[in-house]
Structure 1
Amino acid sequence: MTQIPPQFWSTPAVAAALAACDLPTILGEVRRANGWTQAQLAEAVGYSQSWVSKVLRGRQPLTVDQVRELSIRVGVPLHLLRFGARGDDDPTKRRDFSKAVALTALAGVALPRRPDVDETTAATLIRITGAQRRLEATTPARELARGAVAHVDLANRILGRASRSAYADDVRAGLSEAAGFAAWVHADMHDTGSARFYYRRAIDSARQADNALLAAYMIGSLGGFEIDADDPFMGLSLIARARREIGDRPLATARAWLSSIEALGHATARDEAAALQALQTAESAVRANERAVAPPWPWVFPFDHAKLAGYRALVMVRLERPEEAVAAFNESLSSAQPGAKQRGVLMTEIATAKAMSRHYDEALHLASNALTVGATYGSERVLHRVKTFRRSYGGPMTDTLRSFDERLQATLL
């Protein structure tokens, strides 16, 4: 079987089919990607050509087990489909699976002139964004960018057709999420202009949807981006605006998240007292949220003590308190394992803390590993962090440092 590149799964047509569990479309796209005839596809899945032909035309009902079996045989990542592992099946899923095929039309590249927009449209758009997010941790941003931008354009076209319907605000929220992901991808590419453009689009769409929580989430994300770009004062201003957007009684998750970003902003601006105060506020909000069953949308993961420890570590690096930074990093990483690219970012931060403590060999080893991550996953964000580490490095000139510099130059060239 031909190796299908990772970016194949994030193209709009395939992402939509994955979100809707539309196996006929997925098989057709896999066949085209591999350059197979219908007979070769039938051979790959182990069924007759006539049976496969019926599947591709949507005339052959499939059980969940058959979907799983066919997906495995052609290399479809099962975690990108909507159902879970064997044993999670529900009879309703078996009866209604074929109905999911209709959802694909909502997310295809070529739309009919008068597409129907209903209560499933926004959910489909959001599931596509979710599928793209699951790929982001291990896929170079440049391979995802085209699909992310295409999805934003698709959502905008659907909104144009749904603008006077009862579902318009839900579609606007889906457009906001798509734009927010496009912003994140461009930030990872260190394309700051495009990242800001898509963040603004995400904020505008959330406001037009009259969704204060989503708007605050996107404003806070832009604030974190500006702080990361070494503009803490703009970032802090945006965090204050995000709070105003939510109102006087924000959810505990929102309060913990915004206070953590605020702490990082104050630390970047070298305001130690304000940074520590913001961390205390975040800690209080995390304790208040400990009994929450699930994070409130649009947060995907709970904002817990491990998340807070990660922010505390970043704050302590910027406040030049290396021992506390390393302890906080250990606490964070013992509870949760970040994705590959985020691990690269964290390694540069730990390297900075180690260098402050004059553990220079450890620092260079961590930075070298981060450089490998940045090069492997094409993350300009990680490479930028590695360059920042090198500029701030104040240790002795050693053979280890010379070797690191040679690797960094070779990577950048």
Structure 2
Amino acid sequence: MADALATCDMAVIVEDIRVARGWSQGELANAVGYSQSWVSRVINGQQSLTIEQVRDLATRLEIPLHLLRFASATETRKGASPTRRRDFGKVIATAALSLPTACAGDDIDDGTAPTLRAITGGQRLLDASSPAHELAPGAVAHVALTERVLKRAQHTPHAPEIAAGASEAAGFAAWLHTDMGDLGSARSYYQTAIGHARQAGHQLLEVYMLGSLASFEIEVEDPQLGLTLAAEARRRMGADAHPTAKAWLSCVRSLAYASLGNSSACSHEIARAEANVVRQENAAPPWPWVFSFDDSKVASHRALAGVRLRHPKEARAAFSEALHGFNTNAKQAALLKVELASAHADAGDVDEAFRLASEALRTGTRFRSERVITRVRRFRRGYRGARARVVNEFDEQLTDVLTGQRSK
């Protein structure tokens, strides 16, 4: 499917969508508003399509136009509605299951690894607007797919690049399971991702996956293990690594030190990160980083560290700096709001603290994100102040969510 999208092969795209949705050709024809004979010719590659016909089919089948290579720049920026992205994500996941039979051993070539990585890339884009529990089945199926392809490719020159794609797929599955609160599965997928990165011989990818596991362990309240993993990542990274990698890993380490109460070591790591983000060569990030690590991202980690160190004044100032230039998705924004709520609570600003926590809880409920909801519950457990009206209202909201009176 990813390959067909990349080449705008409408015959493959339309047929795979028909199969994924369990439609007959007649039902497909009804859905797109064309005759069954015309649809049959499209599927068999016997019908030439105009650009307008391709756009019309894409719209009727709920294919985001930005996934087709001919889409205009405006359409690419706008993307598609969350509902359509979500539905099409399921189609991509289903279609992906058929790839092993369509890509038998001798057919593994230079395009195999980019195709596998394109599927993961599409899933990562959907993560910004879709609940993790909707994306996870497709992501897990894609991990299984990459494993099978890698096994068949192990004696070919394409094996290292396919192993890198398998690592990225497993890392994304780990991220989704973290969001769902399935920590055991998340840890297992991170370990798989590290193993495939080593198999690929891709040093920076291994650093990324080790650092991601370190960040995960810090978040689930084992900062000492997180620090150990981050130290191993730094050792493997080397002194000549890209500034984005250095800045990011320093920030991961800063949160570990903050969680351990080591303010001095935390400040040292933040300073290292700040020194790396201003380096000239930090403009273009290396794969698997999607965006360069900039000042606003360092500020967000400085804010998170301030919360953990119980320095509310510094934390709130850093949050203001971070949010000014930070462009993030709804779930990530909710996590930041919970942390900012903690800083306000420590400063005695109870109304603002619980307003932010309430907003984060609504987002966590909407996306069914156990990660966000768990962080909100942790904030509530840590509050030891007076039982103000806003606190009582928040407790009612939280109770409704936990008892199922508000759909998660």
Query: Is the TM value for this pair above 0.5?
Result: yes
- Which amino acid letter does the alignment assign opposite residue 195 of structure 1? A
**TM-score scaled by structure 2?**
0.88
Contact 1:122/1:171 (8 A) holds in 2: yes
Matches within 5 A, 1:235-384: 235-289=226-280, 292-384=282-374
1:229-271 per-position Cα deviation (integer Å, ceiling 9, x unaligned) = 1111111111111111122311111101000111111111110
1:374-402 per-position Cα deviation (integer Å, ceiling 9, x unaligned) = 11101000011000100111221123212
Tell me, in whole angstroms, the C-alpha distance in 1 between the residues paired with 2:335 and 2:180.
13
- Corresponding residue SS for 2:310: coil
Tell me, in whole angstroms, the C-alpha distance in 2 between the residues paired with 1:258 and 1:405.
37
Matches within 5 A, 1:11-410: 18=5, 21-31=8-18, 37-62=24-49, 65-85=52-72, 108-109=98-99, 111=101, 114=105, 116-289=107-280, 292-410=282-400
Structure 2 unaligned runs (5+)? Answer: 77-93, 404-408
Tell me, in whole angstroms, the C-alpha distance in 1 between the residues paired with 2:123 and 2:30.
30
- Corresponding residue SS for 2:143: helix
Say which structure, 1 or 2, has more relative contact order (CA 8 Å, 6+ apart): 1
| Greater alpha carbon shift after TM alignment, 335-344 vs 38-47 | 38-47
Contact 2:214/2:227 (8 A) holds in 1: yes
Q: Given the superposition, is the C-alpha separation of residues 247 and 408 from structure 1 closer, same or farther in structure 2, using an over 3 Å criterion?
A: same
Structure 1 unaligned runs (5+)? Answer: 1-13, 90-103
Q: Given the superposition, is the C-alpha separation of residues 154 and 39 from structure 1 closer, same or farther in structure 2, using an over 3 Å criterion?
A: same
Question: What is the RMSD computed on CA atoms of the aligned residues?
Answer: 2.4
Deviation at 1:47, TM superposition (A): 3.7
Deviation at 1:212, TM superposition (A): 0.5
Tell me, in whole angstroms, the C-alpha distance in 2 between the residues paired with 1:105 and 1:405.
44
Deviation at 1:283, TM superposition (A): 0.2
Contact 1:159/1:171 (8 A) holds in 2: yes
Deviation at 1:40, TM superposition (A): 4.6
Deviation at 1:350, TM superposition (A): 0.9
Tell me, in whole angstroms, the C-alpha distance in 1 between the residues paired with 2:95 and 2:391.
55
Q: Given the superposition, is the C-alpha separation of residues 217 and 377 from structure 1 closer, same or farther in structure 2, using an over 3 Å criterion?
A: same
- Which amino acid letter does the alignment assign opposite residue 141 of structure 2? A
Calculate percent identity across the aligned residue pairs: 50
**TM-score scaled by structure 1?**
0.87
